Structures are given as C-alpha cells and as structure tokens.
A and B are shown apart, each in its own frame.
Chain A
C-alpha cells in the first residue's frame, strides 16, 4: 500500500510524555542539555507573560458560537 513505509514507528503516549524537547539547541552543548535548557528558558519566558490568574481567566473566557 502506498505510504506504508512512512508509518509512524514511535507512538507517543501523552500520559507518559515527560521527556520534553524544544528545538532551540545552543551551539556546542550536548543536544539533551541544550533541549532541557531550551525548554526551561522558554517556560520561564512564558511564565512572565501568562495572565496572572489562570483559573479566573479560563473561567472568564466565554465565547458565543459562530460559524
């Protein structure tokens, strides 16, 4: 069958997906370290811009249906 050889061979179980990699490797560093560092930096950056009260914001984000 066309495309069979392209089938994903590494199914991910999201409940166990604790190994996180974000592709922002620093030159010279080992890939894993760089990725871990990249994720930490990224999350720190996002922490700084997230709306302050998550619970309240998510509850208040109520939309009307559209098309």
Chain B
C-alpha cells in the first residue's frame, strides 16, 4: 500500500502530490516566421516586467535563475542512463538554453538587428511567487505549476498559468516595439508539430515501473474520451480531412520510452524525481491534451491519480491492450466511440468499456479505504468519482449533457454547427481556424472561453481562487517555501528549482542552497512562523538552518 507515497495524504483515493506543465502555442500575427524561441523569451520578459511592478512581497521576481543541479533528463526509469553523446540535443534539458544573436536576428528580420547594451538580455526563466516556473522550453513558453496535493488545486494552479499567459499577451499587445504575441493552450499546429501539456505525479519508488506501465497503458489509451481536447485533421500533418478526439494521439509512436520530442511514448520513462530519489519517482505523463475545459482538466488529474492508487494497491484491472499505439490512434479517430481495441486475451472492448473497468475498480478501492465517504472522506475522491461516472454515463447516451464539459465534444458541436450552417467540408480553413482559436487564451477571442462565458461550457474553478493562485503558492507543499522565499526576499534568492532554493545572503559571497527534497515539507504549517518572525534574510536563514523546518 501507499503509506509511504505521501505521508499525511490519505491513500487509495485522488490525493497525491501532482503538478501540470503547459507549453503554449505562440503566434506573432505581425511577424510571421519570427523565431519562436525569441518570441517565447519576450513572453517571459513581459511577465517579468509586470511582476516587477508588483513589488516585493507580491508575486514573481524577475531573473530568478533555475538551479539545474538535480536535473537528470537522461536517466531512464527502466534502470539505465542514456549517454549525453547518444542523446538528441532536445533531451538536454538540464543545461541553461542560450539564445544566440542569430536567433534574435532571425526574429527581428534584417532591418533591426542590434544587440546593443541598452537591450535587455533575453530572459529564459522565471520562478514565480506562486511557486511555479515560467520559462522557455525549446520554442514555446511553458508554465509549470507549483506542486499541489489534489486535482482541484491542480486545476486552479493550472488555470493560474493561463492567467499568467494572458497577462503577458496583454502586455505585449500594448507594446508597439515587441508585440503583439498571442498564446494558445493547445498541442499542435495541425501541420506536423506537437508540443506538450504534461502531468506529474509523485509515486513511491517501491512500486515496480513495470506495474505502472501495465496499469496505465490501457487507461491512457482510453482516457482521451473523457479529457481529449479535439482536433481538426487526421495524421501528424493533418493532411487527411476529419475530426478526432485528441490533440496529441497521432504524435505518439512508441509504447514506452525516454524521449519526449520524438518517437513519443505513451509511457515516458524519464526518471527525474525532483525529490528524495530512494523514496519517490515522479511519473512524467506526456500523453495528455492541454485542456481549456475545467471539468476535462480536473478529471485528467483526478482519474489518473485514482488509477495510480489502484496500481499501488495492486488493484488495477488486469487487462492488456494488444498494440496500444494504433489503439490510441484508432480511439482518437472514432468520434462515435464504437471502435473497439483488442486485448491480449482476445476480448474486444470500446474505450468507454475500458474506462468503466477502471472507474469501477477505483470506486471499490475508495469505498474499501473510506476515502470517498461524504463525512470522513478525503474531501476530493468522492467528487472525482462522481464526475467520472457522470462523464462515462453521458458519453454513453446523453451527448447533449456531455457536450457541456467534455472538451472534444463541445468543440465538435461548434464545428458541426459551421459545417451544417455553411456547408463546410472538413478541409475548410475556417474549421481549422475554429480549432486553433478554440484555445486562444484571450477571453474575447478564445472560442472555448466564449462558450464558458455564455454558460455552454461548464466552469468549476472560482475566478477569485484562480486570481489568488496567480500570486500565492499552495499552502500544503514545498511550493509554499519556494514561493514565499521569492515573495519575501526578492533580491535574496539567487535561483530555485523544484527541490532547492538558493539564497544569496547580503554581505556574503557564499550562496546558501536549501534543499527541498520532501514535497510535503516546506508547507505553511511548517515554515509559516519562520517567514512571519524573520523579515530579514540573515535572521531567516539563521533560524531556518538552525532549526531545519523544511
């Protein structure tokens, strides 16, 4: 059992240390062909300028570096490490990316190339006062949420990332020199390029990786029916006309593997725990779609957390999908949801039937553990189970209801409306436009957000909670220590990472690295008094290092 997963979190349900990563699609309408890495750095810089205006104690601090000490992107969960020489350059995410003058030149065009002293250096990384990381990942701005302990907070702090993206877009729209730059919470340009929206879950090291592969693969092949975001076009380059359930499915080519930018695997084996490595692994899930729908996003985290609890308890459905990669594609291409996948034992099941098997197993485990009880439960599992069951029921017979929160279906309804009203074929550019603009982060432009505003797409998160999450870290993980350190000592933090904060004490040449390798320490309960009692960094560090609260 998972008593060692997350001390303090009830086992058997949806509680777990987790977090999201969103790579945004980026588009500069007035500068087609601009260098995407440079544009992305402009987004980071724009947000940095905004938060600097907020002042210390308010939010993010510009220029806080990333501490790469514990990054191990080439370590494979199956027990080996890829040599740097064998790795693709894209895999070397443990070194600071450098934006070259050539890239800047490409971005600006030949007319205005000058990296003179007045220009700010390209900003590639920020650690925010809410505990998140905002940085340039390859050629996209990425928001990595702070660590949270439950799916509702995962939704809220992921939405905070959308708000961060929107704030940067607004700032650049008013910037005649640099803007406008627009951001899209999607995963593909429909022409062959895909970029991820990843989930991370803390899992005890004692769970054999093989059991994670076995337990998760059928679930991942089928969960797109609940949390897919929908996509116009079939095939990686979108050249075959049509509509499919998932943004990401067609870009997956392997069952298990280390890569994330090519030959993408359904199960990613990157073994970079960002925590005490003997005790934990961080399961890095790359097969999901970015969601604008709150319910889809919530269920993505909630149901996956439940399935991990099933695997830890040895109670996952004992099914094995034959050839899971084509099965993933097939289920994505069948919006009628009648397509079946073959199991190793010869049975054929629809995606919904597989999801029901996982749901029933998760409901039973939760009942056995008492975590879904209305009184005395863990406060989260009951809602995940209720919404999961409703989604499977609605997808099986009440599509009108499902279309108010299942994202791919909501998008399909709009597209079908256009097809019907204007007689458009699937290859028509207007349908491609609706698909892209669906995920525009601007409420006045984003079609999904327009639907939400008129009540046609259900929202779950309280806007006030999201606004607070833009500024404040979650209280119940180490993200609190990270975020508060940046808020309280904006000039005293040299760098930070998931598992460290590096302080630069005044009047000292020595940096003080404080490891935060236990995700459930560094909480408000454990360090709140310390921050309150020591407004000065020297006193704070003396007390911290004397007492080791984190």
Contact residue among A4, A9, A61 (Cβ-Cβ distance under 8 Å from B189): A61
The proximity string for B residues 12-42 relative to A, scoring 1 for CB distances below 8 Å and 0 otherwise, is 0000000001010111010011001100000
Which B residues are CB-close (under 8 A) to A65?
Answer: 138-139, 192-195, 261-262
Smallest CB gap from B335: residue in A:
A14
- Could you tell me if A67 and B260 are in contact, using CB atoms closer than 8 angstroms? yes
Chain B hits for A3, CB < 8 A: 352-353, 355-357, 359-360
When C-beta atoms are compared, the residue in chain A nearest to B423 turns out to be A18
Least CB distance from A5 to B in Å reads 9
Q: Does B418 contact A (CB under 8 A)?
A: yes
Contact between B139 and A63, CB atoms less than 8 A apart = yes
Nearest CB on B from A42, distance (A):
7
B138: shortest Cβ distance to chain A, in Å? Answer: 5
Q: Decide if A45 touches B450 in the complex (CB within 8 Å).
A: yes
Question: A17 to nearest B CB, angstroms?
Answer: 5
A1, A42, A58: the one contacting B433 at CB < 8 Å is A58
Q: In which size bucket is the chain B interface?
A: 35 or more
**Segment at the A interface, from B306-314, B398-406, B492-500:** B398-406
Query: Roughly how many angstroms separate A3 CA and B393 CA in the complex, as a whole number?
Result: 10
What 1/0 flags go to A38-53 for Cβ under 8 Å of B?
A: 1110110110011100
B420: which of A12, A20, A51 is its contact (CB, 8 Å)? A20
B193: chain A residues at CB < 8 Å are 62-66
- Total number of A residues with any Cβ neighbor in B under 8 Å: 44
State how many angstroms separate the Cβ of A67 from the closest Cβ of chain B.
4
Q: Looking across the interface, which residue of chain B has its beta carbon closest to that of A35?
A: B400
**Chain A residues with CB under 8 A of B352:** 3, 6-8
- Is B261 touching A6 in the complex (CB atoms < 8 A)? no
Enumerate chain A residues within 8 angstroms of B421, measured Cβ to Cβ.
Answer: 39-40, 43
Residues of B within 8 Å of A2, CB to CB, are: 353, 356-357, 360
Q: Which of A12, A17, A50 contacts B434 (CB 8 A)?
A: A50
State whether A4 touches B353 (Cβ < 8 A): yes
A29 at the interface (CB under 8 A from B): no
Compute how far the CA of A13 lies from the CA of B243 in the bound complex, rounded to whole angstroms.
11
In the complex, besides A6-B396, A46-B450, 11 extra interface pairs with C-beta distance below 8 angstroms are A6-B353, A39-B421, A43-B417, A54-B430, A58-B436, A64-B195, A65-B194, A65-B195, A66-B23, A66-B261, A67-B137
For the complex of A and B, 3 pairs with smallest distance between CB atoms: A3-B356, A66-B195, A64-B139
B binding-site residues for A, Cβ under 8 Å: 21, 23, 25-27, 29, 32-33, 36-37, 90, 137-140, 188-196, 198, 242-243, 260-262, 286, 335-338, 347, 349-350, 352-353, 355-357, 359-360, 392-393, 395-397, 399-401, 403-404, 412-414, 416-421, 428-430, 432-434, 436-437, 444-445, 447, 450-451, 454-456
